[in-house]
Amino acid sequence: MQVKGESLQDEFTSWIDDIPTCRLSGIGTATNVLYRRDGTRAQRHSFQNRSFRIQQEDYQLGIYGVFQGFSGHRVADFVSKCIPGELILGQLTADKSDEEVKEVLRQAFINVDKAYFKSIDDILAKRSVLQSEGKPKSVEAEERIVQSAGGIVAVILNNRLFIASIGDCAALLCRDHEVIPLCCNHTTDNEDEILRLCHLGVDVELGQLYPQLGDARLTRCFGNYFVKSGYKENSLVSSAIQEPVIPEPEIFGPITLDNDVCILLLYTKSLVKAFREATSVINAEAELVQHTKHYMCKEASLSGVAQAVVDQVVRLHHDRLEVTGGQAVNLEDMTLLVRDLRGFRRKDSRLAASTLTGSSARPTMQSSTTTDSSEVDNTGKELPVDENGRITPYVDFAPFWRLWGQRKVSENSITSLEKS
């Protein structure tokens, strides 16, 4: 069932397509996979994640978002198209105070959630009519109104970083010698969220599975009628004194982007979950950063970097599955957004490749005509690069051409003498 005015074309186009994309960022994705016991693979559902990366130089503003959809893609799609409109049309300018920026972010999340439910008013109205007449519910309508999404948005404004999130998407800020997690999982594994629900009159316990909240057990999200205005129909949260699941984000910042900060990663929880399952590493987030640094000195673009990291996680997960016997298991949709905060990718990531084993390296073609800056600069001296990260000319050929000219003059003189 489509929202009034919605078409197939609307799902693949957006007004933000005409807004300048941030060239210092890239996005990688992987579609969900079901591994069958016979070794074959199948896609369980359509891709449900969405993302954006926008830069407005006039406002010294960059905004980046990653959204993971649940039970469908429509909420994530709606939010990814509407959030930018709440942030880039003059709401955020360089003179805004820290508190003003946070309030704009908070209102953006709340306003977009309200707008989503307004967009499905006709579905909810038809559902109410069917209920009042005692008629069977529409399966399509029930599937539509249960859809939800979690998301994370990063705002870089005048060298200040703010992170706003709901659900279980996450962010990592990488300094030269430190990895800083910037996230707060809004699930039933979060003690503060459990306490908040208990104060509203909901009987829940930490770490328990509650299918009434949806597959992801989100306590904050976009969409999902049955935990918002329709919560009285939900057996788990019907006793709440107000809507138990909220769209209000957790906000981190401001963080000053000084010279020590080099990379920002935004990603869906499914990415780290798959990486942890594939490698059994203790600190999957730190390893994810190392893989990103590794590919930063291998790939030609940041989208190539992000995609290489995601592909590597998928491959490691599949290899682990093959080794352990090929039991039926699945991977969820994954998204990774990489933002280079320095602008000199090759220089900053030169040493990263040595931290990874050969099994984690992505095969790359070697060229006999080009040389990477990490191969040339083996003296520890920093070579100058242009705005595209290419090494600027630094060899003076004047002596060569001078000697070449002298030789040609001598040869011409000898030729003239021989002829005479």
| Mean predicted confidence (pLDDT) in 112-124 | 95
The single-letter code of the amino acid at 185 is N
More confident residue, 253 or 151: 151
| Mean predicted confidence (pLDDT) in 65-81 | 95
The rounded distance, in Å, linking the Cα atoms of 146 and 165 is: 20
On the question of pLDDT at 34 being above 60, the answer is yes
| Mean predicted confidence (pLDDT) in 359-368 | 39
Encode burial over 326-335: b for 16+ CB neighbours within 10 A, e otherwise.
eeeeebbbbb
Helices of type H across 146-249: 191-199
Which CATH number is associated with domain 25-34+44-187+214-225+249-357? Answer: 3.60.40.10
Is 185:168 a contact under the CB 8 Å cutoff?
Answer: yes
Report domain extents, the chain.
Answer: 25-34+44-187+214-225+249-357
On the question of pLDDT at 49 being above 70, the answer is yes
Cβ-based neighbours of 257, under 8 Å, separated by 6 or more: 156, 159, 160, 161, 341
Mean pLDDT of the chain: 82
The rounded distance, in Å, linking the Cα atoms of 46 and 157 is: 34
On the question of pLDDT at 237 being above 80, the answer is yes
Report pLDDT digits (tens) over 4-22.
Answer: 444 434 555 666 677 889 9
Token pair recorded at residue 167: 């659900």
pLDDT of residue 26: 96
pLDDT band at 394 (very low <50, low <70, confident <90, very high): low
pLDDT of residue 253: 84
pLDDT of residue 364: 39
Is 392:385 a contact under the CB 8 Å cutoff?
Answer: yes
Report pLDDT digits (tens) over 277-302.
Answer: 888 888 899 999 999 999 998 898 99
How far from chain centre, in Å, is Cα 50? 9
Instruction: End-to-end CA distance of the chain: give it in Å, rounded.
Output: 96
- Residue for token pair 């990103």: 292
Q: Which of 271, 93, 94, 285 is nearest to 182 (CA)?
A: 285
| Mean predicted confidence (pLDDT) in 372-397 | 47
Left if phi > 0, otherwise alpha if psi is -120 to 50, otherwise beta: which for 252?
beta
pLDDT band at 172 (very low <50, low <70, confident <90, very high): very high
| Mean predicted confidence (pLDDT) in 302-315 | 95
Token pair recorded at residue 69: 């959809």
Report pLDDT digits (tens) over 96-108.
Answer: 999 999 999 999 9
The rounded distance, in Å, linking the Cα atoms of 75 and 72 is: 7
- Residue for token pair 């290899």: 319
